[in-house]
Structure 1
Amino acid sequence: MCLAQCRMHLLLIVFSSLNGQWRVLTNDQWSSRATLASFENSEPGLSDRQFVHGCFCWQLHFLDKLLLLDTHTMEFSDVDLPPDHRGMGRSVIVEASEGKLGMLTKWYDQDTENDPLWLTYSVLRNNQWHWEKDIPMPVKRAILVGVAGGYLLLHVLYTTPSQEDLKFGYFSVDLKTLQVELFARLSKAISAGHLYAGFPPSLSPPTI
């Protein structure tokens, strides 16, 4: 599937391997002049999609909306992003308990990368985001790589208690316990890629 940002609306283009055909879904619920102006004046590009509780999610920062596609009904819905939500690449949608949506957002004490880094965990209840917990991060800088297998992975710069030299590595956050752990050390910086958990069918062990 591909979500396309047009001048007046969004198009979702879906290919089905069952019938070998393409299908186009449109979201026409935003038709006001203010919304159309947001489309026209927005920067090109959309956030990466995430799959949470049977729904694909896109963060539409130029509308301050979270767009949801229910894969069972193939229908769109949306909820407002938090009012203090800032910038692309600073938050991820995660699976919370009881089928709810959660959000982890990174922020700095004074909004500069030289200040302590935190993750804020919020849960969506009755179409409102409710703060749950602030998680101090033992790192200097972080990139949210993605969510898979029940964990959030971050590409980070950090220091150890015994050494002040900056090190590169990956930290993980357990989405059930919100515990933070060092996942892997790196000898040098590398570009953060896309996160994937498990093996694709072509690489899976043979079964009978």
Structure 2
Amino acid sequence: MEFSVVDLPPEIKGEYKTIVELREDRLGLVVLDDRVLHIDVKTLEDDGAGANDWWHDRAISLPNFHWTMTGSVKGYVLLRGILRGYSEFWNFFENKPDAYYFTLDLKTFVIERLCMLEFDSLSDHLYASFPPPLSPPTI
């Protein structure tokens, strides 16, 4: 594992941002701005220092949801969408909206629907594999 400091582009707009590793020599900055995912890229030199400035690689339009980016791991970004008809201040004991989860594959930039769950802002977590106590034993 290596640690390095990277300056972000100054013109970034969007509430949700995450830095991801696209390849061995490239970092990606995924920014969620309303219903568009912006992906900026930066090439790294062998010593981990920035070789070039960030450049805008692509923008991906998203369906008409209230979007949040809930995490990234192992080449994927996890996105959550709630239908726009719901108020942001719904009653948590009645009329909970459905949360639609999607994955963004960072190799192909394809978005796929993962699942739909009843939204609960206090315990809204998804797991990509078994937690360590349930993992098979290894040597």
* Structure-1-length-normalised TM-score: 0.50
Coordinate RMSD, CA, aligned: 2.5
Residue 7 of structure 2, aligned match among 55, 71, 80: 80
The aligned runs of 1:110-121 (5 Å cut-off) are 117-121=35-39
SS in structure 1 of the partner of residue 133 of structure 2:
helix
For the pair shown, which has the larger CA radius of gyration, 1 or 2? 1
Residue 120 of structure 2, aligned match among 190, 195, 203: 190
Instruction: Indicate if the aligned counterparts of 2:40 and 2:58 stay in contact, CA closer than 8 A.
Output: yes
| Offset of residue 144 of structure 1 | 0.8
Distance 1:167 1:194, change over 3 A: closer
Query: What is residue 138 of structure 1 aligned with on the other side?
Result: 63
More divergent stretch after superposition (120-129 vs 195-204): 195-204
Query: What is residue 13 of structure 1 aligned with on the other side?
Result: none
Instruction: Indicate if the aligned counterparts of 1:103 and 1:121 stay in contact, CA closer than 8 A.
Output: yes
**Higher share of residues assigned strand:** 1
Structure-2 separation of matches of 1:93 and 1:145: 13
1:102 and 2:33 aligned = no
**Higher share of residues assigned helix:** 1
Query: Which consecutive unaligned segments of at least 5 residues does structure 2 have?
Result: 44-50, 85-96
| Offset of residue 196 of structure 1 | 4.7
How many percent identity over aligned positions?
Answer: 39
* Structure-2-length-normalised TM-score: 0.71
Structure-1 separation of matches of 2:68 and 2:33: 11
| Offset of residue 153 of structure 1 | 0.5
Distance 1:195 1:92, change over 3 A: farther
Query: Which consecutive unaligned segments of at least 5 residues does structure 1 have?
Result: 1-53, 56-69, 71-76, 109-116, 160-165
Instruction: Indicate if the aligned counterparts of 2:13 and 2:33 stay in contact, CA closer than 8 A.
Output: no
SS in structure 2 of the partner of residue 79 of structure 1:
coil
Structure-1 separation of matches of 2:114 and 2:120: 15
